[in-house]
Amino acid sequence: MSNEIEAIQDPGLPAHVHREADVDPIAEKRAERQVAILFAISALGTLLLIYSYVFVPQDLFIFVPVMGDQNAHQLGLGLGMAISLFFIGMGAIQWARTLMPDTEVVAHRHEFRSPENEREDFVKTVKERAGTAGLGRRSLIKKSLGAALGLSALTPLLLLRDLGPVPSKELEKTSWKSGTRLVTDPGNRPILASDLEVGAVAQVLPAIAEGTERALSDIGKDAVLLIRLRPSDFQLTPEKFAMTHDGIIAFSKICSHMGCAVALYEQQTKHLLCPCHQSTFDVTRGAKVIFGPAARPLPQLDITIDSEGYLIARAPFSEPVGPSFWERNSQ
Amino acid sequence: MKRLSRYRRHKAAAPLLLVIALLAIGTTFSVASATVKQSPTTFARSAAIDEGKQLFLKGCSSCHGLNAEGGAIAPSLIGVGAASVDFQVGTGRMPMADMSTQAMRKAPVYNAEQTSALAAYVASLAPGPAIPEDSVLNYERDGNTAEGGELFRNNCAMCHNFAGQGGALTQGKYAPTLMGVEPKHIYEALITGPQSMPVFSDKTITPAEKLSIIKWIKAAEKEPNLGGASLGRVGPVTEGLLGWILGLGLLIGVAVWLATKAR
Amino acid sequence: MTKAEKTLGSVANYVDERTGAAAWMKKNLTKVFPDHWSFMLGEVCLYSFVILLLSGTFLTFWFDPSQREVTYEGTYAPLQGLKMSAAYASTLHISFEVRGGLLMRQIHHWAAIIFMAAIVGHLLRVFFTGAFRKPREFNWILGVGLLTLGIVEGFLGYSLPDDLLSGTGIRIAEAIIQALPVVGSYLAFFAFGGAFPGESFIPRIFTVHVLLLPGAFLALITIHLMLVWYQKHTQFPGPGRTEKNVVGYPLMPTYMAKAGGFFFIVFGVIAFLSAVASINPIWLYGPYTPGQISAGSQPDWYMGWLDGLVRMAPPLETHAFGHTISWNILIPGLIVPGILFTGMALYPFIESWFTGDKREHHLLDRPRNAPNRTALGVMSLTFMMVSLINGGNDIIATHFSMTINQIMWGTRIGIFVLPPLAFIITKRLCLSLQRADRDLVLHGTETGRLLRLAHGEFVEVHAPISAEKAWTLTSHEQLPALELSETDSRGVRRPGGIKNKLRLRLSKAHAVAVPKVSADDLKEIEHH
């Protein structure tokens, strides 16, 4: 198409236009002064930095409009550094723009592809060299090399094996056992059923022996949220209802989607919301997912009270808590 | 007072609670009116209840019912207690201006005296959480900031954000910011569970722990910006926005200047 | 001759006597670099990487990458007496007790934000101008690799301080690993040295963050730059600029001063941001424990789109034969990003396959002159923006009086509807701009002067545009679509009929253009 029709012609590089500083000595002096001033501002910035580091106490706060109360030490250091660096750059660029040569230079490009004969020769050589190694013919060598390379890739996999233990049943277990008391988090105080009003929530963990410490990995599976509703609010199957106690229902706080703590309980709607990905669970229907990406309800903990009236777990969780994994039997 | 409130939900303690509630209202009332230093007489108490009832009939009964029994669009107020009234009315949430959204904090419609009269009236209907006395609210003395921070992150941050700036709930509801809220109102919200907020019982979070939470919130409120403008303390969203607009914007600006020919 | 000139001359002499590199160095000192603001985006990436290395090294002097539990006894009162990991405690130490430590932490984090933003900006510039075409396909792939590494490196850095926000991020990363079919739980246990969070993860990712990935970055950046140097920079079309030359300023001294100065500009701007704007105030987040969470937990912006995709995913899981597959994690977390990034890396080859264009290109396309490619770019960008918006839906909801449910549904629908719409609109817009160019070349610019003709009609006087401008607007190529017959020369059907059809369709779509003005057109108009 464009071959047949005559195209508009390239007028070639436009003529060079001189800058003021190129032709006018006064402008040149002015440009020189501008660059020097920019560098001088940079020096002032460094002085501000040194002053702030040495003389401004770290707990001094000053009021800055728009930004509010600011730490003078941090602000002085930062602004000093910013000014000192920024104006070195400005000076250098202004120097290049006004005083260094600004005539556009043309350099030639060559096509990367070598001349036809050279390239053909090269391709031929590669083929020949490969041929002398007999890559195509000696299939036994090729296959055994492939197998050896493939096997050797197992080495790093093997050596990385001791990074951690195998999961075995770890992901399916929590510290909750039949009879474990529910205690407040933080505080570790046992909870009477009567401690919770209707509409109340409590963050709880399983009781631990006096003097022992909780590992974070235990909290990551054990955290439970207690919610008290009116028993008439529930729309649960008889089995699930039997797992509640006097309107108190307990759910794993670890989201069944990606393991964030689900604890945004809305008292009026009785919905639980996960702040990470906005999965919404309906507490009255056993934490059924009503919105968002989670695919399973939060596991419910079977609770009752012991002889002293404190809330305890009647049984451990009947399913693994937290996000899904391949070995999880979710049926 | 602390020991008493531990048994507040005990059935036998209900009449006792009523007395305490009335005492508390009376005290608040007397402080507000600043005329009587002595405990109010029975007469003054019933006068406050009467005044509250009049205010209620005028300003609240159209939604909450003539006897505060609730209606189609508003809950019953029987048994919500004086603390609930003091919170809702004292923070300007009630009366609601716009029924379509959740009640939000605004300038209160009723003055302190009227608020305590309304509280006295609602508290007279059935026992409920009382307004905490000022002596109970000495968070500076009884609270612990670090402990409060831990409690806050465990119980409050999921809705109100790590710095108490508030956050989104479902269907357009939101947890409001906690900045600038009076300690008394925070305390009342914890024990009454207003709107979407659940109740935090005195057994699971003790009154002393509640004061720690308040102390932490007040510390966060007063905390000056240590590393520059706070960007709203809402996390990486505003940081990313500023990085693109101001950071890359400034750099592109300089690049454009760099690539233009000087005069 | 001044003293400075003499000294530099002796240095040059000294170097050559020991390397014999005189010819090579002379050639490279006069190497030509074309000037355009958008060519500086790549330099922003390079310079912020250097700043990341410098500030990161500073931070390692005090940072203790350990999840060992300690009791905080530093100066920040609201955390005193709390149990936390040594990593978190040492980050607090850097922030409050090391003078300038907070500034350096903020410089490091702001530099990371700018680094990633500049990479994306640079990538968009390269894509929309067609700079990835032969012979630069390999450099494009390196760039995609650097972007991917940057996302990983940034996420690891965000995870290191072990605050509540970063711990939440690690929790989600762990859930993604755990969701992998068959090997997921094993990989997660190996990575974390046992159950989440364990005490091994932060020390491990620290090594990856400060040693392995920066090393990979250095290697890839070096090759990336060597290729740019060797292949010479592309240039925008214009008078005197051809496929066979490169027009610009010589390296020494003009470009050296500009590029060198620009390093200080980048450092200065990042230091300015770090002075005036707080970033990642970990002391407010508190130490990580798995039972706690903050409203509005977000990743940094370059991970935000991924989080947004995960948020909008449908609640799908397969439960069968005693196993669980979490499609709600795998699709948005691995499959979609995998397809996107693979497609992006292979795009130069895909384009050259359907255009049949195997020639070298050193002159850039104006985005309007490649409407199909530009539309595809805007389409992908729209996809990312919709995801990113959903990644911040909770913050947007509270600040713009919306509901998270509305935004979620809006983006769930928008992710399918908006990108194709963006494609159509962009393509039309490009063609309109081509038409405007054509009109401009044919009829010149409007002067605003009215002329009354003899018979009373008013016409506006148009001034012809300069020869330079006319050339710039018409110098681009307009290749016709491929013509592949379905049968070969002997009348036998070609194999891979569907593939051929697809190729033809893409080629045809790519060749859609408003015919550019030729010299003949201009002559014709002169006769009127």
Q: What is the pLDDT of residue C218?
A: 97
Main-chain dihedrals φ then ψ at residue A64, nearest 5 degrees: -120, 130
Confirm if C325 and A330 have CB atoms less than 8 A apart.
no
Q: Please, what is the Cα angle at C350 between C345 and C356, to 5 degrees? A: 145
Percentage with pLDDT > 70 across chain C = 97
| Same domain flag for C52 and C131 | yes
Which of B:208-247 have CB within 8 Å of C? 216, 219-220, 223, 225-231, 233-244, 246-247
Domain membership of residue B89 (yes or no) is: yes
* Alpha-carbon distance C277 to nearest alpha carbon in chain B (angstroms): 4
CA Rg value for chain A: 37
Provide the ipTM: 0.93
Domain membership of residue C447 (yes or no) is: yes
Cβ distance of C81 and B167 shorter than 8 Å: no
Query: Is-cis flag, bond preceding C197, omega within 30?
Result: yes
Long-range pairs for A30-38: beta carbons < 8 A, 24 or more residues apart:
A31/A94, A31/A98, A31/A99, A31/B262, A32/A99, A34/A94, A34/A98, A35/A91, A35/A94, A35/A95, A35/A98, A35/A99, A36/A91, A38/A87, A38/A90, A38/A91, A38/A94
Q: Which amino acid is at C522?
A: L
Q: What is the pLDDT of residue A2?
A: 42
Domain membership of residue B240 (yes or no) is: no
| DSSP-derived secondary structure letter, B246 | I
Cβ distance of A13 and C470 shorter than 8 Å: no
Q: What is the pLDDT of residue B15?
A: 59
Domain membership of residue B32 (yes or no) is: no
Q: B172 to chain A: which residues are within 8 Å by CB? A: none
CATH number at residue B161: 1.10.760.10
Query: How does DSSP assign C201-224, residue by residue?
Result: HHHHHHHIIIIIHHHHHHHHHHHH
| Same domain flag for A182 and A302 | yes
| Same domain flag for B105 and B145 | no
Cβ distance of A189 and B203 shorter than 8 Å: yes
Q: What is the pLDDT of residue C68?
A: 94
Percentage with pLDDT > 70 across chain B = 83
Q: Which domain covers residue C205, as residue numbers? A: 31-363
| Same domain flag for B63 and B113 | yes
Alpha helices in chain A (DSSP H): 20-23, 25-55, 72-98, 116-133, 139-152, 154-159, 216-222, 238-242
- pLDDT bracket for residue B33 (50, 70, 90): very low
Q: C32 to chain A: which residues are within 8 Å by CB? A: 105-107
Q: Which domain covers residue B145, as residue numbers? A: 139-226
| Mean pLDDT estimate for chain B | 85
| Same domain flag for B148 and B217 | yes
| Same domain flag for B160 and B183 | yes
| Same domain flag for B48 and B76 | yes
Cβ distance of C194 and A261 shorter than 8 Å: no
C404 CB near a chain B CB, below 8 Å?
Answer: yes
Domain membership of residue C148 (yes or no) is: yes
- pLDDT bracket for residue B74 (50, 70, 90): confident
| Mean pLDDT estimate for chain C | 93
Percentage with pLDDT > 90 across chain C = 81
* Alpha-carbon distance A147 to nearest alpha carbon in chain C (angstroms): 24
Record the tokens describing residue C61, joined without a space. 């002097």
Q: What is the pLDDT of residue B16?
A: 58
Domain boundary residue among A39, A69, A98? A98
Q: Which amino acid is at B22?
A: L
C281 CB near a chain A CB, below 8 Å?
Answer: no
Q: What is the pLDDT of residue A146?
A: 92
| Same domain flag for C346 and C220 | yes
Q: Which domain covers residue A58, as residue numbers? A: 20-98
| Same domain flag for B79 and B117 | yes
Domain membership of residue B257 (yes or no) is: no
Domain membership of residue C63 (yes or no) is: yes
**Structural domain count, chain B:** 2
Residue C482 has pLDDT above 50, yes or no: yes
- pLDDT bracket for residue B18 (50, 70, 90): low
Confirm if C74 and C89 have CB atoms less than 8 A apart.
yes
Domain membership of residue C223 (yes or no) is: yes
C114 CB near a chain B CB, below 8 Å?
Answer: yes
| Same domain flag for B205 and B158 | yes
Cβ distance of C265 and B251 shorter than 8 Å: yes
Q: What is the pLDDT of residue A9?
A: 87
Question: What torsion do the CA atoms of B194, B199, B205, B208 make, to the nearest 10 degrees?
Answer: 30
Record the tokens describing residue C310, joined without a space. 């995960």
The residue of chain A nearest to residue B251, with distances taken between CA atoms, is: A86
Residue B145 has pLDDT above 60, yes or no: yes
Q: What is the pTM of this model?
A: 0.92
Domain membership of residue A56 (yes or no) is: yes
Length of chain B equals: 263
* Alpha-carbon distance B204 to nearest alpha carbon in chain C (angstroms): 16
Alpha helices in A178-325 (DSSP H): 216-222, 238-242
| Same domain flag for C453 and C312 | no
Record the tokens describing residue B118, joined without a space. 């309304």
Express each pLDDT in B200-238 by its tens digit: 999 889 999 999 999 999 999 998 888 999 888 899 999
Characterize C95-109 residue by residue with b for buried, 16 or more Cβ atoms within 10 angstroms of its Cβ, and e for exposed.
bbebebbbbbbbbbb
| Same domain flag for A222 and A306 | yes
Domain membership of residue A110 (yes or no) is: no
Domain membership of residue A123 (yes or no) is: no
- Best interface-test mutation with C: which of B251, B254, B256, B257 has the largest number of C CBs within 10 A? B251
**Structural domain count, chain C:** 2
Cβ distance of C319 and A95 shorter than 8 Å: no
Least CB–CB distance from C315: residue in A216, A276, A293: A293
Which of C:317-356 have CB within 8 Å of A? 317, 319-320, 322-326, 328-329, 332
CB burial of residue A65 (10 Å; 0-12, 13-18, 19+) = exposed
Residue C18 has pLDDT above 80, yes or no: yes
Domain membership of residue C246 (yes or no) is: yes
CATH number at residue A236: 2.102.10.10
| Same domain flag for A69 and A193 | no
Residue B17 has pLDDT above 70, yes or no: no
**Structural domain count, chain A:** 2
Domain membership of residue C407 (yes or no) is: no
* Alpha-carbon distance C90 to nearest alpha carbon in chain A (angstroms): 18
C43 CB near a chain A CB, below 8 Å?
Answer: no
| Same domain flag for C41 and C187 | yes
Residue B1 has pLDDT above 50, yes or no: no
Q: What is the pLDDT of residue B25?
A: 63
Domain boundary residue among C321, C338, C363? C363
Mean pLDDT value across residues C85-97: 96
Domain membership of residue C489 (yes or no) is: no
Domain membership of residue A88 (yes or no) is: yes
The residue of chain C nearest to residue A8, with distances taken between CA atoms, is: C519
Domain membership of residue B220 (yes or no) is: yes
Q: What is the pLDDT of residue C528?
A: 61
| Same domain flag for A291 and A178 | yes
Size of interface A-B (CB pairs under 8 A): 123
Q: Please, what is the Cα angle at C527 between C525 and C528, to 5 degrees? A: 70
Q: Which residue has the higher pLDDT, B118 or A138?
A: B118
| Same domain flag for C356 and C431 | no
Domain boundary residue among C363, C395, C419? C363
Residues of chain A scoring pLDDT < 70: 1-5
Q: Which amino acid is at A125?
A: T
Domain membership of residue C402 (yes or no) is: no
* Alpha-carbon distance A124 to nearest alpha carbon in chain C (angstroms): 22
Q: Which residue has the higher pLDDT, A131 or B185?
A: B185
Q: B230 to chain A: which residues are within 8 Å by CB? A: 68
Residue C386 has pLDDT above 90, yes or no: yes
* Alpha-carbon distance C428 to nearest alpha carbon in chain A (angstroms): 23
